[in-house]
């Protein structure tokens, strides 16, 4: 972060500024800073390299409209919140009472932002295994590489400066540095994201660090204030979604959780996602009738295969939880509808206990059809209706249409990227309506 001493303006605008200031204090609360920081002048909210009453107007607009495109250089006392105190500091600056912005700023250490469930107990680096687990950083320099240790054939999306690059493969046993980007423009801030494409059963990975050429790692980007947790099976994992035909068998290369409906929905809503999904998992039975490690048993794990390390749900509280389970329960064999409804209700109760204020979306579709879909949807609908009747106004049913051949299929008849995009658009619009996002 560069700190600038900007030219102080004086004059008639201060009268207008003071009047607006009083109105603001009556209306504004506190908002967490929520976006990756660009280069900017502290206090300059409209990007004209001046600090004046126009910036105050923009600041007020931020609070009224909750515009998430504002950045950390609005935080004038470096307390990671945007509130009336920042506006008071701005007024003091304009009146000459404060000489530089920001005030009380402590140097920030280089770092990374982890989005998802990570085990950080090993000083060598965080371990992770769930889909869409994400590592973000800002840096200067002309190239960047990462060292990741993998216990399975894992794949990662690489996003540099917001542009998705060719995915990288980290084979089982590999721990060598891999180049993520080179030939970057020198002297400016770049961003990097590593997003796990592959799912839980492929094996955990461990992030051992970034290495920057010709520059340095900067303070970690800030998380979004919007958070969504997705819970599901192969559909949520993006199983085979980059395959070209339904007759292909599963390959790790063609599984892309970043392009599954959950991750796409999160990007549409500028939210951070946590994804807990595992192909074949169900609530009463897994695919094929298997009863081992049902989703309720694995849901609380930090690492998919670690039965003793439990995720502390208070560390990350989502405003939205999406549950898409039941496809495997009803896909093979005969499942009693009442038994499934009871298990589903118990799982929703667990989620509600963790997140009392979250909106919970109970999804059906898009792989089941016919009698299987009727039974599954009927059971889920009964649970939603019962919860609503008991006073839970933040539980919802969302039905994804049955996938169409015209939109293509992924491997083993799973949804294609096109189908995932359609699901994401539907879900994002529903959440926007319900939460005002």
Task: Give the separation between CA 434 and CA 319, rounded to whole angstroms.
Answer: 11
Predicted confidence (pLDDT) at residue 194 exceeds the cutoff of 80: yes
- 119-153: pLDDT as tens digits: 999 999 999 999 999 999 999 999 999 999 999 99
3 state SS of 260 = coil
CA angle, 322 then 328 then 330, to 5°: 105
pLDDT average, residue stretch 333-347:
94
pLDDT at 294: 98
pLDDT for 71: 55
Q: Which pLDDT band, with edges at 50, 70 and 90, does 72 fall under? A: low
Q: Shortest CA distance to 360 belongs to which of 324, 408, 334, 332?
A: 324
Q: Which of 87, 354, 305 is nearest to 202 (CA)?
A: 305
- What span, in angstroms and rounded, lies between the C-alpha atoms of 196 and 255? 10
Peptide bond into 242 cis (omega under 30): no
Comparing CA positions, the residue from 237, 282, 232 lying closest to residue 259 is 237
Task: Say if CB 350 and CB 296 are below 8 A apart.
Answer: yes
DSSP 148: E
Q: What is the pLDDT of residue 388?
A: 98
Residue 23 has pLDDT above 70, yes or no: no
* 65 confidence band (pLDDT: 50, 70, 90): low
Give residue 364's pLDDT: 97
The residue ranking higher by pLDDT, 182 or 2, is 182
- DSSP class of residue 257 equals G
Instruction: Summarize the confidence of residues 216-239 as an average pLDDT.
Output: 97
Rg over alpha carbons for the chain, rounded to the nearest Å, is 24
CA triple 45-49-51, angle to 5 deg: 60
Closest CA to 117 of 219, 34, 230, 213: 230
19, pLDDT greater than 60 = no
Who contacts 1 (Cβ-Cβ below 8 Å, separation ≥6)?
A: 37, 72, 73, 108, 219
For residue 313, give the DSSP letter.
G
The CA distance from 384 to 362, in Å, is 8
CB 8 within 8 A of CB 115: no
pLDDT in tens, 270-327: 999 999 999 999 999 999 999 999 999 999 999 999 999 999 999 999 999 999 999 9
What pairs with residue 363 in β-bridges? 398
pLDDT (tens digit, 9 = 90+) per residue, 246-281? 999 999 999 999 999 999 999 999 999 999 999 999
Instruction: Please give the pLDDT value at position 57.
Output: 75
- Rounded to an integer, the average pLDDT of 71-82 is 71
Q: What is the average per-residue pLDDT within 184-198?
A: 97
CA proximity to 327, closest of 274, 381, 290, 363: 363
For residues 51-65, give the mean pLDDT: 74
Q: Is the pLDDT of residue 109 over 70?
A: yes
211 versus 18: the higher-pLDDT residue is 211
pLDDT(58) > 90: no
Residue ranges and CATH numbers for the domains of the chain are 13-94 (1.10.1330.10), 113-217 (2.60.120.260), 227-435 (3.40.50.1110)
Question: What is d(CA 183, CA 337) in angstroms, rounded to the nearest whole number?
Answer: 58
Of the CA atoms within 13 Å of residue 117, those in its CB half-sphere come to 28
Between 53 and 107, where is the model more confident? 53
**Secondary structure (DSSP) of 331-358:** HSS---HHHHHHHHHHHHHHHHHH-TT-
Task: Give the pTM.
Answer: 0.78
Q: Does the pLDDT value for residue 96 go beyond 80?
A: no
Peptide bond into 366 cis (omega under 30): yes
**What is the predicted pLDDT for the residue at 13?**
42
CA atoms lying within 13 Å on the CB side of residue 7: 5
CA angle 386-390-394, nearest 5°?
Answer: 85
Residue range 239-247: average pLDDT?
Answer: 98
Query: Which pLDDT score is estimated for 295?
Result: 98
3-state SS assignment for residue 237: helix
Output the average pLDDT for the chain: 88
Band (pLDDT 50/70/90 cuts) for residue 90 is confident
CA separation, residue 61 to residues 8, 58, 65, 226, 342 (Å): 22, 5, 6, 19, 47
């Amino acid at each position: 972060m560069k700190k600038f001493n900007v030219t102080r303006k004086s004059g008639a605008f201060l009268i207008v500024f003071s009047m607006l200031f009083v109105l603001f204090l009556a209306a504004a609360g506190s908002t967490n800073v929520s976006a990756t920081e660009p280069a900017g002048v502290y206090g300059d909210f409209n990007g004209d390299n001046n600090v004046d009453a126009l910036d105050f107007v923009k600041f007020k607009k931020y609070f009224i409209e909750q515009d998430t495109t504002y950045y950390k250089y609005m935080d004038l006392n470096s307390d990671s919140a945007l509130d009336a105190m920042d506006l008071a500091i701005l007024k003091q600056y304009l009146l000459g009472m404060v000489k530089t912005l920001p005030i009380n700023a402590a140097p920030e250490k280089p770092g990374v932002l982890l989005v998802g469930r990570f085990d950080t107990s090993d000083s060598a680096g965080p371990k992770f295994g769930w889909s869409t687990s994400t590592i973000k950083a800002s840096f200067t320099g002309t190239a960047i590489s990462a060292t990741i240790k993998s216990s399975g054939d894992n794949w990662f999306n690489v996003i540099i400066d917001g542009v998705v690059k060719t995915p990288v493969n980290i084979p089982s046993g590999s721990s060598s540095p891999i180049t993520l980007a080179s030939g970057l423009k020198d002297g400016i801030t770049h961003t990097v994201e590593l997003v796990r494409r592959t799912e839980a059963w492929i094996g955990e990975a461990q992030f051992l660090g970034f290495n920057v050429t010709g520059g340095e790692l900067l303070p970690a980007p800030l998380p979004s204030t919007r958070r969504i947790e997705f819970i599901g099976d192969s559909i949520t994992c993006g199983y085979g979604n980059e395959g070209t035909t339904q007759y292909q068998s599963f390959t790790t290369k063609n599984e892309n959780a970043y392009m599954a409906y959950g991750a796409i929905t999160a990007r549409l809503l500028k939210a951070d996602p946590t994804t807990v999904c595992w192909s074949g998992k169900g609530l009463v039975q897994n695919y094929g009738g298997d009863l081992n490690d049902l989703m309720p048993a694995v849901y609380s794990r930090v690492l998919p295969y670690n039965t003793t390390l439990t995720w502390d749900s208070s560390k990350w509280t989502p405003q939205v939880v999406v549950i898409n389970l039941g496809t495997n329960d009803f896909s093979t064999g005969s499942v009693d509808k009442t038994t499934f409804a009871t298990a589903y209700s118990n799982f929703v109760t667990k989620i509600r206990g963790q997140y009392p204020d979250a909106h919970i979306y109970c999804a059906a579709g898009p792989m089941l059809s016919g009698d299987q879909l009727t039974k599954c949807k009927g059971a889920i609908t009964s649970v939603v209706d019962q919860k609503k009747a008991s006073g839970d106004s933040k539980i919802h049913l969302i039905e994804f249409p049955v996938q169409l051949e015209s939109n293509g299929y992924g491997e083993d008849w799973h949804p294609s990227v096109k189908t995932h995009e359609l699901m994401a658009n539907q879900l994002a619009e529903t959440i926007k309506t319900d939460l005002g996002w």
